[in-house]
Amino acid sequence: MSQDRNRGIATLTDVAREAGVSLATASRALNGSSRRVREEMRQRVLTAAGKLAYAPNAPAQAMARGSTNVLGLLVHDIADPYFSSIATGVMRAAEKQNLVVTIFNTWRRPDREAEYARTLRGQRARALIVAGSRVDDLVAQEQLEHELVEFESAGGRAVFISQGRLRFDTVVLENRSGARLLAEKLTELGHRRFLVLAGPSKLRTSTDRVQGFREGLARHSIQLSRDQVLRGEFTRDGGFEAMTRALDLGLAPDCVFAVTDVMAVGAMAACRQRGVRVPEDLAVAGFDDIATLRDVTPSLTTVQMPLDDVGAMAFELVAAERADRPRLRRVKGQVILRDSTARPT
Amino acid sequence: MSQDRNRGIATLTDVAREAGVSLATASRALNGSSRRVREEMRQRVLTAAGKLAYAPNAPAQAMARGSTNVLGLLVHDIADPYFSSIATGVMRAAEKQNLVVTIFNTWRRPDREAEYARTLRGQRARALIVAGSRVDDLVAQEQLEHELVEFESAGGRAVFISQGRLRFDTVVLENRSGARLLAEKLTELGHRRFLVLAGPSKLRTSTDRVQGFREGLARHSIQLSRDQVLRGEFTRDGGFEAMTRALDLGLAPDCVFAVTDVMAVGAMAACRQRGVRVPEDLAVAGFDDIATLRDVTPSLTTVQMPLDDVGAMAFELVAAERADRPRLRRVKGQVILRDSTARPT
DNA sequence: GCTGACACGGAAAGCGCTTACCAAGGAGGT
DNA sequence: ACCTCCTTGGTAAGCGCTTTCCGTGTCAGC
């Protein structure tokens, strides 16, 4: 119990004294450095540590070693199942390497990302995963990239989970091709008049999905005009509100594509409220295949993204050494047709 | 750029040199200690810091100060909306105090809790929130409490979100009274023959809810026998499986109470698969009022727990000084009747 | 028995910060 | 004019580790 401020925390010095060895030996015994310690000494140290309930002072180790075992994860909102799925994947992988995961909620504010990246640099975090759609905000994006460059030059590793980036390793979610496939399947089912419920125009995830959907329709010679795309928040309420608006406008599509499952659920709720039957009166499709939403009725047609794996893949990238040029891991979505888009009668 | 291992990270020393002041002054200017620095000097330091993209070395600060700004949060599984809601609440509150939240998934293994508590003690985390049901595992529980005592004697603050505890501040979720109320409302609706889908018998959240439910029924002179309680995993699949089993057994209740919304959704899926209509043939109720599940059809009768607030309350406890005796914050649930338990015909 | 190689314990120098403690200068009281 | 007090800058001593460097002991080979 070396100092007062520790209020009774045992330090390595205490352990060494208790074991009757030097500080250096204690350190080497407990952390198996490159140097070996005679088994007998090792045991002495280990028992002493156990007896004193010694827990290494992580900040001190970080100081001395110049690096930590902290992994930062930046998400828009951890309560969103999309992100919590990714987080689980990351944590599952991180825990195997004894990394500790610190999560930051940006609440969808791009400037926060840069701020937190800087905080993590200060923490000397070993790695940093930025999850969530990029935003068409050049200033914020520039600032973020700048922080990430600093972060990496400080010895950390940074990767994105989002759209293709140029300067960093990225797990790319192929939103466009997924949406394209979905559009094709839906037209093959016989749907013709579409309506898209999109997210904020700045979010690339949203714009990519809309664009992909448009391309898919185009392959079947179906045009998607501007007024067939309604915008709303990227949330359940956003979907609800946008769908309500559509109904109020008297739009009469036979199929609605909401760019996320969460919005799709909101849209279905709006339909229910207005007495519009899904899928009889209107087909609805989503995107992501959120696990918690697999049991809504009618079951939701969607594009499955393996979010759990995505988290794990991001971790793999982050655990690997930085390559000379950014690595990309492309993740494709898979269309899953369910009841919400039954063939129109 | 003082050292090689920093690979280009600016230190306070660099900033001080750049600003032409001493280390002490630089430190005081950047962190507004009790000591003041003349405005002119302050500005010099601030610009120097900006120019060098200085980010304070958190581990070093932790060392020198003897405490960090890390808050640990232990959850069973962050992908479970129950926990991610709590996590949001915690983060919203923590972020205002510039605390950084580190999340640990225990994957429902009680021994992990103690292990992570120790890790957090090593991190010199300022506070620690243990969320999630206590388990009837005396060994693990004892071990956890022991670690928490160590944690607090090391200067940290520990609180629980769960059932009433003895030795630590706790946000108590009143599962029992919530379930009791639910039972009463359901009987008032006219339901008589009940079936309960419970979680693992070790989980107090589950047993408390079952017990409360039983009490509520008793008030209306309805007995709940042992074979009217089926156990399953605390997940969607657990609910599905348990309900299927009930159907196979030929049990014919008029109302099923699943101890969590997530299980209830699984149960409803099982009903749908077997052609049992909810609520016409069978009423179903859940517990928690998970936001993501508010749009299932039929909408689910449940007991609302303000999980977001719970997280924030836990943070308040943790932010306050330790009292001489443990503080309790009781959180009551509120019964919300929806379509899934329409009055039986 | 002597020398070189090797294994392993210990002393001590940092890591980047905070914070007593000291010193110097200016304001204000007498 | 002198002394005290207050303000504010600087010096240096840690915080608890890791790791380099040194020294001692042991053993193989001749």
pLDDT digits 0-9 by tens, B151-198 = 999 989 999 998 877 789 999 999 999 999 999 999 999 999 999 999
Q: Is residue A153 included in any domain, yes or no? A: yes
Do B250 and B297 sit in the same domain of this protein? Answer: yes
pLDDT (mean) for A274-292: 95
Q: What is the pLDDT of residues A118-132, one digit of tens each?
A: 999 999 999 999 999
What pLDDT band is residue A2 in, cutting at 50, 70 and 90?
Answer: very low
The reply to whether A297 touches chain B by the CB within 8 Å rule is yes
Task: Reply yes or no on whether the pLDDT at A166 is more than 80.
Answer: no
Smallest CA–CA distance, residue A223 to chain B, in Å, is 32
Task: Reply yes or no on whether the pLDDT at A290 is more than 60.
Answer: yes
User: Over chain B, what is the mean pLDDT?
Assistant: 93
Question: Does nucleic acid strand C have an atom less than 7 angstroms from the CB of B6?
Answer: yes
Do A169 and A136 sit in the same domain of this protein? Answer: yes
* d(CA A109, C1' D30) / Å: 76
Q: Is residue A191 included in any domain, yes or no? A: yes
pLDDT (mean) for A235-254: 94
What is the 8-class DSSP label of residue A135?
B
Distance between CA B11 and CA A339 in Å, rounded? 60
Give CA angle at A167 (A313, A289), nearest 5°: 35
Task: Reply yes or no on whether the pLDDT at A79 is more than 90.
Answer: yes
Which candidate from A55, A153, A269 shows the least CB-CB separation from B118? A55
What pLDDT band is residue A58 in, cutting at 50, 70 and 90?
Answer: very high
Give me A267's structure tokens. Answer: 């849209």
Do A98 and A156 sit in the same domain of this protein? Answer: yes
pTM of the predicted protein model: 0.92
The reply to whether B12 touches chain A by the CB within 8 Å rule is no
Burial class (CB in 10 A: 0-12, 13-18, 19+), B161: buried
Do A135 and A254 sit in the same domain of this protein? Answer: no
- Smallest CA–C1' separation from B15, nucleotide: C16
Task: Reply yes or no on whether the pLDDT at A6 is more than 70.
Answer: no
| H-type alpha helices, chain A | 12-19, 23-31, 39-51, 58-65, 81-96, 110-122, 138-153, 175-188, 204-218, 236-248, 261-274, 307-319
Q: What is the CATH number of the domain that holds B258?
A: 3.40.50.2300
Q: Is residue B72 included in any domain, yes or no? A: yes
Task: Reply yes or no on whether the pLDDT at B32 is more than 80.
Answer: no
Q: Is residue B2 included in any domain, yes or no? A: no
pLDDT (mean) for A54-82: 95
Do B313 and B169 sit in the same domain of this protein? Answer: yes
pLDDT (mean) for A286-291: 96
Q: Which domain holds residue A69?
A: 65-173+308-331
Question: Does nucleic acid strand C have an atom less than 7 angstroms from the CB of B64?
Answer: yes
Which candidate from A56, A123, A153 shows the least CB-CB separation from B7? A153
User: Over chain A, what is the mean pLDDT?
Assistant: 93
* pLDDT at residue number A36: 83
Identify residue A65 by its one-letter amino acid code: R
Distance between CA B274 and CA B291 in Å, rounded? 27
The reply to whether A295 touches chain B by the CB within 8 Å rule is yes
Do A169 and A318 sit in the same domain of this protein? Answer: yes
Distance between CA B87 and CA B103 in Å, rounded? 8
pLDDT (mean) for B52-59: 95
Q: What is the CATH number of the domain that holds B23?
A: 1.10.260.40
Which of A71-75, A147-151, B137-141 is predicted least confidently?
Answer: B137-141
Do residues A101 and B102 make contact, with C-beta atoms less than 8 angstroms apart?
Answer: yes
The reply to whether B299 touches chain A by the CB within 8 Å rule is no
* pLDDT at residue number B344: 65
The reply to whether A64 touches chain B by the CB within 8 Å rule is no
Give B45's contacts (C-beta < 8 A, 6+ positions apart). B15, B16, B19, B21, B25, B26, B29, B30, B37
What pLDDT band is residue B4 in, cutting at 50, 70 and 90?
Answer: very low
Interface of A with B in 109-168 (CB under 8 A): 118-119, 121-124, 150, 153-155
What pLDDT band is residue A225 in, cutting at 50, 70 and 90?
Answer: very high
Q: Is residue A118 included in any domain, yes or no? A: yes
Do A184 and A285 sit in the same domain of this protein? Answer: yes
The more confidently predicted of residues B5 and A253 is: A253
What pLDDT band is residue A343 in, cutting at 50, 70 and 90?
Answer: confident
Smallest CA–CA distance, residue A169 to chain B, in Å, is 20
Q: What is the pLDDT of residues B266-320, one digit of tens each?
A: 999 999 999 999 999 999 999 999 999 999 989 999 999 999 999 999 999 999 9
Subunit contact A53:B150, Cβ cutoff 8 A: yes
Task: Reply yes or no on whether the pLDDT at B3 is more than 70.
Answer: no
Task: Reply yes or no on whether the pLDDT at A1 is more than 70.
Answer: no
Do residues A194 and A224 make contact, with C-beta atoms less than 8 angstroms apart?
Answer: yes
Do residues A232 and A239 make contact, with C-beta atoms less than 8 angstroms apart?
Answer: yes
Do A74 and A166 sit in the same domain of this protein? Answer: yes
Which candidate from A124, A154, A297 shows the least CB-CB separation from B297? A297
For B307, nearest residue in chain A (alpha carbons)? A79
Subunit contact B100:A123, Cβ cutoff 8 A: yes
* d(CA A24, C1' C4) / Å: 27
* pLDDT at residue number A31: 83
Which candidate from A6, A101, A153 shows the least CB-CB separation from B8? A153
* pLDDT at residue number B46: 94
Do A143 and A118 sit in the same domain of this protein? Answer: yes
Do residues A29 and A15 make contact, with C-beta atoms less than 8 angstroms apart?
Answer: no
pLDDT (mean) for A287-306: 95
The H-or-E segment that residue B237 falls in is: helix B236-248
Question: Does nucleic acid strand D have an atom less than 7 angstroms from the CB of A334?
Answer: no
Q: Is the dihedral of CA B260, B266, B269, B273 positive or negative?
A: negative
Do residues B140 and B111 make contact, with C-beta atoms less than 8 angstroms apart?
Answer: yes
Give me B278's structure tokens. Answer: 């909810």
What pLDDT band is residue A222 in, cutting at 50, 70 and 90?
Answer: very high
* pLDDT at residue number A135: 86
For A152, nearest residue in chain B (alpha carbons)? B7
CA-only gyration radius of chain A, Å:
26
What pLDDT band is residue A260 in, cutting at 50, 70 and 90?
Answer: very high
What is the 8-class DSSP label of residue A292?
G
| pLDDT more than 70, % of chain B | 96
* pLDDT at residue number A218: 97
Q: Is residue A7 included in any domain, yes or no? A: no
Do B143 and B245 sit in the same domain of this protein? Answer: no
Do A122 and A228 sit in the same domain of this protein? Answer: no
* pLDDT at residue number A214: 98
The per-residue b/e assignment along B202-214, b for 16 or more CB within 10 angstroms, e otherwise, is ebbbbbbbbbbbb
* pLDDT at residue number B93: 96
**What's the structural domain count of chain B?**
3
Those nucleotides of strand C lying less than 7 Å from any protein Cβ are 7-20
Do B251 and B220 sit in the same domain of this protein? Answer: yes
Distance between CA B221 and CA A68 in Å, rounded? 60
Q: Is residue B1 included in any domain, yes or no? A: no
| pLDDT more than 70, % of chain A | 96
Smallest CA–CA distance, residue A299 to chain B, in Å, is 10
What pLDDT band is residue A271 in, cutting at 50, 70 and 90?
Answer: very high
